[in-house]
Amino acid sequence: MKLNNPYQGVNQLSHEAKVQDFSGTKILLWNSVLAQQLGLSEDEHTKAQLATGQAHPQAYALAYAGHQFGNYVPLLGDGRAHLLGAVTDEQGQSWDIQLKGSGATQFSRGGDGLCGIGPAVREFIMSEALAGLNIPTTRCLSVALSGDTVMRQKPSAGAIVSRVASSHIRVGSYQFLAAQQDTQALQQLVDLTIARHYPELAALTGDEQLVAFFNAVMDKQIDLVVNWMRVGFIHGVMNTDNTLVSGETIDYGPCAMMNQFDFNRAFSSIDRHGRYAYGNQPQIASWNLARFAETLIDLFSLEQDDVVELLTEQLNLFGEKFNAKLKAMWMSKLGLLASDASADELVNELLIAMQEQQLDFTNTFVELTGYCQRRKDSLVEIQAPLVEWLVKWQAVVDNHLEQSARLMSSANPLVIPRNHQVEAVIEDFEQQGYSDKLAPLLSALRNPYQLDEAHRYLQQPPVSNDEDYQTFCGT
């Protein structure tokens, strides 16, 4: 099948790169649901081409820069990824198909460009989980074995991830072009981003369009992080090169889910100071947006000082916008309405109590939702630590139980990808190349707001409460 390079019209951004020839590729996981959504043929030749890139006539590596843990790196780029091109679905939406772990490129900086089976399986599970949770995300079309052995902390079977995204335009993509002072390429990238993600802005021009564009990207980032916090997702490496301007989640290497509620919860082995902890994600999103704003300055017709003042004014709206969305999120999780006078008090008291008592984040809200649905088994686990708070909350939601139940049922998943369950599947794949735990886990995660009785075991938190759990970058 023929795929087009959507970035060929942007100077310096895409570079020809050849997918490594692997000796014994084999498709391990294939996402038929996603393939059908994209209108892809599932004949064996097409599947092999999209899953491994073998015999693909042309591929590309994308250039980008980025702030990694606050430190600017002027050139990063796809060091182990190859863009095969883009396809257009029946609705006219364009989708990038990119391979990861497909060999070295000119941006590899001495790395081997490969990926182990563990990180590949993690990305497949976690991206499907976030899609099921209704959170914008890149998706995995497939995981294939490369036939090679990859050396990381220990030898591992090599794997290739086929990733689908509405684009791979990062804040780091803008940073790379801005550092080159290539305003022509920057404007080309703005035009491409608007065409692919913000077509409603196409009728605007000049400075007006740029301001609207920045605000649209900011709104997407706010929605994304609020959604992460809604389900207890901790990204783990919110660098600017991992921030897509589309507002989709990308890079699942060090991500994790929060079990016991704690604003300071972090799991990444390289995030030693908790920069990307659960409760810090809003501030980091704002910081990343400031870096994005810096890349747009030279595109404005105004004097630089005036542009900085204008963009600073827009960025200063982040806190107000984010807090409004965050408040609405917590209220929906608690079934509270705008007319409930004690909403703020109930939210704040619950979060403080959950942190002090180290209550399970997901299951606490599952039980509260169950109360509004009049489930007899609800509130068993949280009755004792929250007894005083429950009396006040029940007095409020009892006035509108049906409305509360509807709000909470859509905001509170019954099941999440628990870290220990994901790790159990990964361990199976690393040891034996398959896992009989994967199918029931994926089935539940793809429909997490309803739960079959057979999958109820997936609601159980780990015995250790993830006290020593760590995640690692997938390189």
Catalytic residues: 241
Closest by CA to 257, choosing from 360, 166, 326, 345, is 360
Pairing state between β 256-257 and 233-234: antiparallel
Q: Find residue 249's DSSP bridge partners.
A: 137
Do 136 and 225 touch, CB atoms closer than 8 A?
no
232 closest CA partner among 343, 139, 366, 324: 366
Cβ atoms of 196 and 6 within 8 Å: the answer is yes
**Cα–Cα distance for residue pair 361/465, rounded to 1 Å:** 11
Q: Distance (Å, rounded) from C-alpha 254 to C-alpha 470?
A: 8
CB 270 within 8 A of CB 254: yes
Q: Is 48 left (phi over 0), alpha (psi -120 to 50) or beta?
A: alpha
Task: Give whole-number Cα distances, 381 to 58, 225, 364, 453, 460, in Å.
Answer: 56, 28, 8, 19, 12
Measure Cα distances from 422 to 117, 401, 419 in Å. Answer: 13, 35, 5
- Containing 376, the helix (H) or strand (E) segment is none
Q: Which residues contact 58 (CB under 8 A, 6 or more apart)?
A: 5, 16, 85
Q: Which amino acid is at 112?
A: D
Q: Is 204 in contact with 284 (CB distance < 8 Å)?
A: no
Please, are residues 99 and 52 in contact by the beta-carbon 8 Å criterion? Answer: yes
Q: Which amino acid is at 83?
A: L
Burial of 293 (0-12, 13-18, 19+ CB in 10 A): buried
What angle, 0 to 180 degrees and rounded to 10, lies between the N-to-C axes of helices 318-333 and 206-231?
A: 30
Pair of tokens at residue 311: 């963009």
**CA dihedral over 190, 195, 197, 199, signed as positive or negative:** positive
Amino acid at 5: N
